[in-house]
Amino acid sequence: MLSSDDFFTKEYLVEHLSRSLDEDLGEGDITTEQIILENKLVEGEFVARQSGVLAGIPVVNRLYTLISRRFKGLPPVEIEWYQEESSVVEQQSRLAVVRGPVTQLLAAERVALNYLQQLSGVASLTRRFVLMASVHGIKIYDTRKTVPHWRLLQKYAVACGGGYNHRFSLDSGVMIKDNHKKLAGGVKQALQRIDFPGEVVVEIHDREELVGLDLTEIDVLMLDNFSPDRLREIVPQLSGRVEVEISGGINPINFKNYLIPGVDRISLGSLTHSFESLDISFNFLNL
């Protein structure tokens, strides 16, 4: 079962959210302070304005804990979720109801929406690709093309959408890319210098690089920026000998052309750099 604890610690999340609250609040909410004369208890609801995959419940829960601590002496914010993490939500479905002092709900509104909308956007885009690829036995992977300082959160959202994670950082695995090969004098020379007990991924850009390449030294062979026609020629020769990954130039428009027999996985930078945030609203109730 997917758990946010496998992606980030409480300490990481508290630090991340605290910076976001500092950024948004500054020295205080001037508008609310001047307009709201009575800090009464109110309710507000999060509503999905389009269908998609919900991601970010643990993040928003922690956010309201932090905002409650910032407003000492007031009742804490309570939140009740009507949907589950990683679930598919329909347009106009209620996601959650929040109860607490009006100043706290207004102070956290934008930050909560930013996290919910963006993480749900990543999860929703990932699910679109996963649904198309899974019937062909192909797994969808993300990349390191993430928003700075949001990597753990975005990779968590990819998992919420049913995708898989590539390296979280440069120290978590070996991936021999084009510049490595140039500096080493070739892919075979680069492989000779590798001494690593974990997964070794080798990226190639043309068929000539396969000549004389010992596939037993490789866990994953990444065919980067190959056309679908070229892949249909090469992949059958590799299938069963090494795990085959394809990447580069793949997007929602041409994606179906890359669902080629023998491909094990497809990696997409667009999951975390070209997603659209899920449209979610927050409105007060019974006012």
Angstrom distance (rounded) from CA 82 to CA 86: 13
- Is pLDDT of 287 > 80? no
Best CA proximity match to 164, nearest among 81, 173, 253, 118? 173
> Catalytic pick from 69, 110, 207, 230?
110
Known catalytic residue: 177?
A: yes
What pLDDT is attached to residue 138? 98
Check if 85 is active-site: no
How confident is the model over 83-133, as pLDDT tens digits? 999 999 999 999 999 999 999 999 999 999 999 999 999 999 999 999 999
Q: Which of 94, 99, 128, 177 is catalytic?
A: 177
Radius of gyration of the chain, Cα coordinates, nearest whole angstrom: 23
Query: Are 54 and 85 spatial neighbours (Cβ–Cβ below 8 Å)?
Result: yes
For residue 143, pLDDT beyond 90 = yes
To the query of whether residue 181 is one of the catalytic residues in this protein, the response is no
Among candidate residues 203, 243, 245, 264, the one labeled active-site is: 203
- Determine the pLDDT at residue 156: 98
Where are the chain's structural domains? 4-129+276-285, 137-273
Is 224 among the catalytic positions?
yes
Which of 139, 224, 232, 279 is flagged as catalytic?
A: 224
- Where residue 286 falls among pLDDT bands split at 50, 70, 90? confident
- The answer, as to whether pTM is greater than 0.85, is yes
Any idea what DSSP says for residue 148?
Answer: T
CATH architecture of 137-273: Alpha-Beta Barrel (3.20)
Three-class HEC string of 76-122: CCEEEECCCCCCEECCCCEEEEEEEEHHHHHHHHHHHHHHHHHHHHH
Catalytic one of 99, 145, 188, 232? 145
Q: What is the mean pLDDT of residues 170-180?
A: 93
- Higher-pLDDT residue of 271, 239: 271
Question: Which homologous superfamily is 4-129+276-285 in?
Answer: Quinolinate phosphoribosyl transferase, N-terminal domain (3.90.1170.20)
* 158 pLDDT higher than 80: yes
In this predicted structure, what is the pLDDT of residue 72? 86
Please give the order of strands across the beta sheet that includes 280-285.
78-81, 94-101, 41-48, 280-285
Half-sphere exposure of 141 (CA within 13 A, CB side): 19
Give the residue carrying structure tokens 């996963």. 130
Is-catalytic flag, 182? no
